[in-house]
Amino acid sequence: MIKIGITGGIGSGKSTISDMLRKKGFSIIDADIVAREVLKIYPEILQKVKEQFGKEFFNEKGELKRKEFGNYIFAVEERRKKYENIIMPFIIEYIFINLDKFKEEGKQVCFVDAATLIENNLHKHMDVNILVWVDSKTQIERVKNRDHLTEEQVIDRISSQMPLEDKKKVCDFIIDNSKTLEYTEKELYRALREIGKKYRGVECLKL
Ligand code: ATP
């Protein structure tokens, strides 16, 4: 099974590309969904959160007060990192479990959509890595509109991430998502066909 990583920055268009792939019937592991699933699967995550952040983020039933906790950790970089250190090993483990599952099911290709694919070294486990790139002016505009944030807030979020120009250096394909969706879709198929040339027996890449 060919493992293809899809990465980018905030609002660069990873979900947009993943949706296009889903429509074509491809299997996708979405790291954002995995990040929610692991909380249910591994109770030790919330146990560690309780130990390191305090009981006040849990209700009487012992459930995490998601919104309150989210606001608390995303307000300060250090807190977010502390939470990521707790949860990330479980996210990575569960991504690999899902990859194994798809392989056992006989899938020829599986995509992993993860904003921090490179930061967490997951790109090294992929056969091919695709960067969803967007110019910074378009990126700021799209995130401002999508998340109803000010320009300053968007710039803060973008600067807290690894620059797209650095991600470019370690990816095999760059999809320019600064233009229309039709253009992006063409770019995506072009990349898939190129990958298909390398893995000749893979029928689903013959688009
Ligand atoms: P995040 O990691 O922040 O969740 P993302 O990389 O998954 O973001 P998307 O949610 O796919 O990015 O795209 C960001 C916003 O830009 C969305 O509102 C989406 O509809 C819009 N968008 C994406 N690509 C295009 C495009 N080519 N033309 C116009 N709008 C686009």
What domains can be seen in the chain, in order of their start residue? 2-197 (3.40.50.300)
Instruction: Name residue 83's amino acid.
Output: Y
Annotated binding site for ATP: 11-16
Strands ordered across the beta sheet of 2-8: 27-30, 109-113, 2-8, 128-133, 173-176
The pTM (predicted TM-score) of the whole model is: 0.93
DSSP 68: H
Annotated binding site: 11-16
Ligand 1 centroid to 139 CA: how many Å?
A: 8
CB 169 within 8 A of CB 129: no
Q: What is the pLDDT of residue 111?
A: 98
pLDDT band at 25 (very low <50, low <70, confident <90, very high): very high
In 15-127, beta strands by DSSP E: 27-30, 109-113
Atom of ligand 1 nearest to the CA of 181: 27
Q: Which of 7, 15, 18, 28 to mutate to test the pocket of ligand 1 (most atoms within 8 A of CB)?
A: 15
Atom of ligand 1 nearest to the CA of 180: 27
Q: Which of 109, 137, 96 is nearest to 193 (CA)?
A: 109
Read off the pLDDT of residues 71-120 as tens digits, 9 standing for 90 and up: 899 888 899 999 999 999 999 999 999 999 999 999 999 999 999 999 99
Residue identifier of the C-alpha nearest atom 20 of ligand 1: 16
Average predicted confidence (pLDDT) for the chain: 95
CB 205 within 8 A of CB 199: yes
- CA distances to 18, 98, 99, 180 from 112, rounded to whole Å, are 9, 10, 9, 23
Q: Which of 30, 11, 6 is nearest to 171 (CA)?
A: 6
Ligand 1 centroid to 30 CA: how many Å?
A: 15
Ligand 1 centroid to 53 CA: how many Å?
A: 32
178 CB near ligand 1 (under 6 Å): no
